[in-house]
Structure 1
Amino acid sequence: MQGTLSEAAMAPIMAFALVGALGVGAQWIAWRLRLPAIVLMLLAGLLIGPVFGVFDPERDIGPLMQPMVAIAVAIILFEGGLTLNIHSLRDAALGVRRLVVIGAPLGWLLSALALHYVAGLGWAAASVFGGIMIVTGPTVIAPLLRTARLARRPAQLLQWEAIVNDPIGALAAVLALELVVVLDTAESFGVAAWDLAFGIGVACILGAMTGWILAFAFKRGFVPEFMKVPVLFAFLLVAFGLSDFILHESGLLAVTVMGVVVANANLASYTEMRRFKEHATILLVSGVFILLAANLEFSALALLDWRAAALIAVVIFVARPLTVLVSLLKTPIPMKERLLVAFTGPRGVVLVAVAGLFGERLSELGFEDGARIGPLAFALVAATVVLHGFTLRPVARWLGLAGGETVGVALIGGSAFSVGFAEALKKADVPVLIADPNRARLRGARAAGLPTFFGDILSESAEYSVEIASYGIWIAATDNDAYNTLVTTDMGPELGREFIFQLRRVKQESSRHALPATLGGQTIAGGRTYTEVNALIAEGWSFRVTRLTEEFTLDDWSAYYPGGIPLARIMPGGDLRILTGPEDEFRSPEGTRLVALVPPEEETPQNDSDTSEAAE
């Protein structure tokens, strides 16, 4: 190899491999370390790009970079539109609707004013970037909420604001860019107005028609199941390319509208398509972020002066709080919850991806301040993610809006097993919920003072009524094995299959009834069925929480309760793990609490907490 590492060009295939490995690797490491993924991706991109010069997108990818980023952003915006279900917005809480209907345009206005008067951007760049800035980043909010474990209402406000405002912010930025492009290229205002109306109309009609044709073909069975995602991608690219050919930059608007139409078509395969799009978006977002970070130059980073710091301060402490507080005026939401939402507004990688692309478009049109949009977007995202990532939990705890340190457990089915297990977990300070579509089966849970949800846990009502993020572990324990398998299979991709459990199915070991590993959850209760565990409770077995000490170790517990069924262990730090059987080994340092179903005994160890009354 000739020259230094920073001077040697990298083969395009190797460049793509490096970008993919760094993007996905950064997200995986961030998950393991419970850190904001965007910070690691930013650091990785800067290190391989402007710091060490290992990867230079312009040098190593060349002309491929611009169309790649444009198509990736189009897919990201389509996925954002795919989340905008009008029915969901109509059924959402009043606070969410106010944050969208009032907060989105107000946030756009305040952000544009801050960009113009504080950061010194021209009105064209400020209006485009201001639209993107209302996006609070669903890919950033979700992990923050899982870590912070907020109370239900502020968590829902933050989560649904991010989901709904994601496509709206992108749409606002696209419309602003359309306006700037048309005004810059048109000869008169009348021509500009006509070109803008024509471009928006064509993009909306083309996006809506493409989405309608796609939904019609899917509903009528014209497209086989295994071809739906490829056909979806093909239609997306056609809509993007055709609209962009008719009027430059209108393709992004077309794919966003297409996503909204598909989202509201009530397709039976909508969930599968959305999940696949989410996976593709994660890959694309991480790739685009690494590309844009590596493409930054120190000269561009030098543009981040005191004005950039002032802008970030104004956005975090003035524009965002003012937007939320005005939007939530005269609502029944308590002031402390409004304050928590007002001072929580992390921006994500979607903002950086869209801002980077639009900044380059403005620069190509002759707007010199367009070059500042990319660095400002990186600075805003890094500052908000780091700030809220490390302060959300302490601030929520100070306001009394944070849950416990231990992850919650949702038990599906209101049987004696579920009630006894839930009461034992509750006495161990673990948040619990019991859900059942049969109101009568919830009597025992309500009598024990346990939180309940009446209805199907997979329904849309549950999506808005149950704080899913607070219950990281789900246990399906109804008397219907097929329903248990349905719940665990459906929730597996959402929460992670390592956190989904169910009672063993009847005849599970039979080859005629065995299911593939892709269906169902992990088996608990030592491999016992619904009938078997509830029969044990009827015979007098009870749930106990035992604290293990140096004097009473796990071996002592096993000797004292021969035949006892360990169900869960809670580490001294609050870490909860559901045990899947007697072969499930676990560490038992002093202070570990063991939750188990044990046979009746005449004498109870002093470090036992008996919950048999709740189970009977």
Structure 2
Amino acid sequence: MAAESIGSLDPVMAIALVGTLGVGSQWLAWRLRMPAIVLMLVAGLLVGPVFGFFDPMRDIGPMTNAIIAVAVAVILFEGGLTLNFHTLRDAAEGVKRLVFIGAPLGWLLSTLALRWGAGLSWESSAVFGGIMIVTGPTVIAPLLRTARLARRPALLLQWEAIVNDPIGALAAVLAFEVVLVLRTAEKVGGAVIELGVGIGVATALGLAAGYGLTQAFRRAWVPEYMKVPVLFTILLAVFAVSDSVLHESGLLAVTIMGIYLANANLPSYEEMRRFKEHATVLLVSGVFILLAASLDFSALGQLTWRAGIFVAAVVIVARPLTVMVALASTRIPMRERALIALTGPRGVVLVAVAGLFGERLVELGVEDGALIGPLAFVLVAVTVVIHGFTLKPFSRALGLQAAETPGVLFVGGSRWTTGLAETLKSELDLPVLISDPNRSHLRRAREAGVTTFYGDILSEGAERNIDMASFSTLLVATDNDAYNTLVATDLAPDFGRENIYQIGREKSETARHALPASLGGQSIAHKATYNELNRMMWQGWTFRVTRLSEEYGMAEWREKRPNALLLAYIDPEGEIHFLGSNEGDLHPEPGTKLVSMLPPEENDKPLRTG
């Protein structure tokens, strides 16, 4: 039973609490390297039903459901905005099968699991089974960020989650219309027409809004500073109008709108996408806190042991069988099929839509419709915890992580970058790749066995051919200072500004040439420039990796190598950190490895590595 209420909160304070708990849970999960969804679920349960400190309906009021509905719409739109057809490549066949075969088969198997596992009536099972098609983009995105899967399985999970979300909601609508016809005097023809009109309106609205925004942005009918506000306004209008025609069809409309914009090649696409990603982090956090805090433990008390049978049937039978049948006879390797088959977390849309249809079924006289909401929450909680903690080790066991240890992506082929990349690869076993639009700059790297990419790192070709998840650090070191700054600035949101490094600029000391802190990456090697670093290579400087220990620490190393240029260190967990001029702030633990450049006169000194 839920804890007794300890007093209501002011609505503003309640909203602030939701934001603080949501973002705080995500930050804490990042620090502890835990699944963020799990911590958000726990935080919502603690402040809500456990301690009774926060009750969304009491403290925020009837607007809670509207807030959740709009948040889910924005989340799905942002998901659609990431679905660029160019990124599919060899995953296209798998995505089509997961949508066109997996969705109907998943509906059928989920319905059977509900009927024979949970013991629900056929009516409730059919409606809830439709909703269970969804695998939750609100959960998949944070999990993929943590697990760092290889490109294809990550794409398959992402596309399936986002595309099937509105399909699941509409499947529930279809099943509910059938129940409505059977329970009332409504005619079948009228229900079918209503469903068809709703889907048609949603599709037309999504396409029309996407086309209209594309034309408006391309023709400069909207000033740059108003593009994101206009986008949000149109998004809300499309969702509201479509939902007024057929409930839950708004989800389909905004998803179609997002996919259209993602494939329209708009100049402002990156700015819009990044802003939406930031908004989505806030919304996902908030919605999970709201839903968890809204849980009524007395509703869970209605469930019996059959709820456990139901969850086990979904996780162990329905999901794996759906994926294996859908992906049968494709070129997707069996280990990737296995990973996808055993990864099916449910999220916000399932809980929100299930609660709504559960109430409607009860109003129609289907008594066990009241169990749909509690069953949905249990399924979400169990799958979030299971997949949150198992996806990363399971993908590692199958060899489907982008890289065991994230590596370094170099932009600019030169004698210096080749030497450093070769050292990191051979002595530290870090994944490395050198990208350069000039093929001749990559010749030395190819001869050294370093992986290369011939092309512009900012091009679509790089996005399609480079598995960015394999790299946590970007080092920009071409002979063009302006290009270095452009790349570092453009890719900073993707890698994180703390993981973007740039060699020194030839002209940066005077006010005429100095750049604001918002541009470019962090400095390395005491702001040494391209010419200085490569001149050192011509003079005979070499790279060296030194492991520190209890007996041989930082002070001993510096005493033995007074002229060495310290470039980076690898912490005991295997992550690399480049250094600028702040060597004095470095207090490495035993087991840390130093990456440095040694002058010719120090190369012949005996090396002690502890």
Please say if residues 138 and 159 of structure 1, whose CA atoms lie closer than 8 Å, have aligned partners that are also in contact: no
Residue identity matched to 1:173: G
What is the alpha-carbon distance in structure 1 between the residues aligned to residue 244 and residue 400 of structure 2? 51
Q: Taking structure 1 as reference, are residues 550 and 365 closer, same or farther at Cα in structure 2, changes over 3 Å only? A: same
The residue that corresponds to 1:167 in the other structure is 162
Specify which of 155, 171, 187 is matched with residue 176 of structure 1. Answer: 171
What is the alpha-carbon distance in structure 2 between the residues aligned to residue 346 and residue 216 of structure 1? 37
Residue identity matched to 1:606: L
What is the alpha-carbon distance in structure 2 between the residues aligned to residue 392 and residue 246 of structure 1? 39
Q: After TM superposition, give the deviation of residue 288 of structure 1 in Å.
A: 1.4
Q: After TM superposition, give the deviation of residue 198 of structure 1 in Å.
A: 1.6
Please say if residues 292 and 356 of structure 1, whose CA atoms lie closer than 8 Å, have aligned partners that are also in contact: no
The residue that corresponds to 2:200 in the other structure is 201
**1:457 partner SS:** coil
- Pair 1:385-2:380 in alignment: no
Please say if residues 322 and 342 of structure 1, whose CA atoms lie closer than 8 Å, have aligned partners that are also in contact: yes
Residue identity matched to 2:469: A
Q: After TM superposition, give the deviation of residue 367 of structure 1 in Å.
A: 4.7
What is the alpha-carbon distance in structure 1 between the residues aligned to residue 251 and residue 141 of structure 2? 25
The residue that corresponds to 1:295 in the other structure is 294
What is the alpha-carbon distance in structure 1 between the residues aligned to residue 365 and residue 606 of structure 2? 79
Q: After TM superposition, give the deviation of residue 386 of structure 1 in Å.
A: 2.6
Please say if residues 566 and 582 of structure 1, whose CA atoms lie closer than 8 Å, have aligned partners that are also in contact: no
What is the alpha-carbon distance in structure 1 between the residues aligned to residue 579 and residue 418 of structure 2? 18
**2:563 partner SS:** coil
**1:472 partner SS:** strand
Report 1:86-235 matches (<5 A): 86-89=85-88, 92=91, 94-123=93-122, 125-145=124-144, 147-150=146-149, 155-180=150-175, 182-183=177-178, 184=180, 187-235=186-234
Q: After TM superposition, give the deviation of residue 552 of structure 1 in Å.
A: 3.5
Residues 342-393 of structure 1: CA deviation (Å, up to 9, x unaligned): 3233344454455455555555665544443333333233323332333334
Q: Taking structure 1 as reference, are residues 607 and 348 closer, same or farther at Cα in structure 2, changes over 3 Å only? A: farther
Q: After TM superposition, give the deviation of residue 89 of structure 1 in Å.
A: 3.5
Q: After TM superposition, give the deviation of residue 534 of structure 1 in Å.
A: 0.8
Please say if residues 285 and 353 of structure 1, whose CA atoms lie closer than 8 Å, have aligned partners that are also in contact: no
Q: After TM superposition, give the deviation of residue 144 of structure 1 in Å.
A: 4.2
What is the alpha-carbon distance in structure 2 between the residues aligned to residue 126 and residue 607 of structure 1? 69
Q: After TM superposition, give the deviation of residue 413 of structure 1 in Å.
A: 1.6
Q: After TM superposition, give the deviation of residue 489 of structure 1 in Å.
A: 1.6
Residues 503-546 of structure 1: CA deviation (Å, up to 9, x unaligned): 12221223222222222111112211111111111111111111
What is the alpha-carbon distance in structure 2 between the residues aligned to residue 379 and residue 317 of structure 1? 16
The residue that corresponds to 1:575 in the other structure is 575
Please say if residues 38 and 349 of structure 1, whose CA atoms lie closer than 8 Å, have aligned partners that are also in contact: no
What is the alpha-carbon distance in structure 2 between the residues aligned to residue 403 and residue 492 of structure 1? 20
What is the alpha-carbon distance in structure 2 between the residues aligned to residue 365 and residue 282 of structure 1? 37
TM-score by length of 1: 0.90
Please say if residues 100 and 164 of structure 1, whose CA atoms lie closer than 8 Å, have aligned partners that are also in contact: no
What is the alpha-carbon distance in structure 1 between the residues aligned to residue 55 and residue 335 of structure 2? 47
What is the alpha-carbon distance in structure 1 between the residues aligned to residue 199 and residue 603 of structure 2? 78
Residue identity matched to 2:318: A
More displaced, 530-539 or 235-244? 235-244
What is the alpha-carbon distance in structure 1 between the residues aligned to residue 126 and residue 518 of structure 2? 48
Please say if residues 312 and 380 of structure 1, whose CA atoms lie closer than 8 Å, have aligned partners that are also in contact: yes
Please say if residues 503 and 523 of structure 1, whose CA atoms lie closer than 8 Å, have aligned partners that are also in contact: yes
The residue that corresponds to 1:34 in the other structure is 33
What is the alpha-carbon distance in structure 2 between the residues aligned to residue 193 and residue 242 of structure 1? 20
The residue that corresponds to 1:262 in the other structure is 261
The residue that corresponds to 1:489 in the other structure is 489
Q: After TM superposition, give the deviation of residue 191 of structure 1 in Å.
A: 1.2
Which stretches in structure 2 are left out of the alignment for 5+ residues?
Answer: none
**1:594 partner SS:** strand
What is the alpha-carbon distance in structure 2 between the residues aligned to residue 241 and residue 334 of structure 1? 42
The residue that corresponds to 1:272 in the other structure is 271
Q: How many residues align?
A: 602
- Pair 1:442-2:442 in alignment: yes
Residues 428-472 of structure 1: CA deviation (Å, up to 9, x unaligned): 122222222223222222211122222222223322322211211
Please say if residues 408 and 430 of structure 1, whose CA atoms lie closer than 8 Å, have aligned partners that are also in contact: yes
Q: Taking structure 1 as reference, are residues 191 and 445 closer, same or farther at Cα in structure 2, changes over 3 Å only? A: same
What is the alpha-carbon distance in structure 2 between the residues aligned to residue 284 and residue 229 of structure 1? 16
The residue that corresponds to 2:455 in the other structure is 455
- Pair 1:286-2:285 in alignment: yes
Q: Taking structure 1 as reference, are residues 163 and 598 closer, same or farther at Cα in structure 2, changes over 3 Å only? A: same
Residue identity matched to 2:173: E
Residue identity matched to 2:224: E
Identity %: 61
What is the alpha-carbon distance in structure 2 between the residues aligned to residue 584 and residue 321 of structure 1? 54
Q: Taking structure 1 as reference, are residues 305 and 489 closer, same or farther at Cα in structure 2, changes over 3 Å only? A: farther
What is the alpha-carbon distance in structure 2 between the residues aligned to residue 31 and residue 440 of structure 1? 41
More displaced, 315-324 or 590-599? 315-324
The residue that corresponds to 2:469 in the other structure is 469
Q: Taking structure 1 as reference, are residues 397 and 14 closer, same or farther at Cα in structure 2, changes over 3 Å only? A: closer
The residue that corresponds to 1:53 in the other structure is 52
The residue that corresponds to 2:63 in the other structure is 64
What is the alpha-carbon distance in structure 2 between the residues aligned to residue 355 and residue 278 of structure 1? 26
The residue that corresponds to 1:564 in the other structure is 564
Please say if residues 569 and 592 of structure 2, whose CA atoms lie closer than 8 Å, have aligned partners that are also in contact: yes
**1:197 partner SS:** helix
Report 1:415-434 matches (<5 A): 415-426=414-425, 427-434=427-434
Q: After TM superposition, give the deviation of residue 104 of structure 1 in Å.
A: 3.9
Q: Taking structure 1 as reference, are residues 16 and 312 closer, same or farther at Cα in structure 2, changes over 3 Å only? A: same
Please say if residues 127 and 176 of structure 2, whose CA atoms lie closer than 8 Å, have aligned partners that are also in contact: no
Please say if residues 410 and 435 of structure 2, whose CA atoms lie closer than 8 Å, have aligned partners that are also in contact: yes
**1:62 partner SS:** coil
More displaced, 384-393 or 211-220? 384-393
The residue that corresponds to 1:591 in the other structure is 591
Q: After TM superposition, give the deviation of residue 146 of structure 1 in Å.
A: 5.2
Q: After TM superposition, give the deviation of residue 304 of structure 1 in Å.
A: 4.1
**2:62 partner SS:** helix
Please say if residues 473 and 499 of structure 1, whose CA atoms lie closer than 8 Å, have aligned partners that are also in contact: yes
**1:473 partner SS:** strand
Residues 547-581 of structure 1: CA deviation (Å, up to 9, x unaligned): 22344332232233333221111123323222222
The residue that corresponds to 1:516 in the other structure is 516
Q: Taking structure 1 as reference, are residues 247 and 575 closer, same or farther at Cα in structure 2, changes over 3 Å only? A: closer
**2:433 partner SS:** strand
What is the alpha-carbon distance in structure 2 between the residues aligned to residue 365 and residue 514 of structure 1? 70
Q: After TM superposition, give the deviation of residue 422 of structure 1 in Å.
A: 0.9
**2:53 partner SS:** coil
Q: Where in structure 1 do 4 or more consecutive aligned residues deviate above 6 Å? A: none
Q: Taking structure 1 as reference, are residues 170 and 199 closer, same or farther at Cα in structure 2, changes over 3 Å only? A: same
Q: Taking structure 1 as reference, are residues 391 and 251 closer, same or farther at Cα in structure 2, changes over 3 Å only? A: closer
**2:585 partner SS:** coil
What is the alpha-carbon distance in structure 2 between the residues aligned to residue 101 and residue 392 of structure 1? 25
Q: After TM superposition, give the deviation of residue 402 of structure 1 in Å.
A: 5.1
More displaced, 332-341 or 587-596? 332-341
What is the alpha-carbon distance in structure 1 between the residues aligned to residue 241 and residue 332 of structure 2? 46
Residue identity matched to 1:281: T
What is the alpha-carbon distance in structure 2 between the residues aligned to residue 602 and residue 78 of structure 1? 57
Residue identity matched to 2:250: G
Q: After TM superposition, give the deviation of residue 60 of structure 1 in Å.
A: 1.4
Residue identity matched to 1:464: R
More displaced, 175-184 or 474-483? 175-184
Q: After TM superposition, give the deviation of residue 16 of structure 1 in Å.
A: 0.9
What is the alpha-carbon distance in structure 1 between the residues aligned to residue 372 and residue 506 of structure 2? 60
**2:26 partner SS:** helix
Q: Taking structure 1 as reference, are residues 237 and 532 closer, same or farther at Cα in structure 2, changes over 3 Å only? A: same
**1:259 partner SS:** helix
**1:252 partner SS:** helix
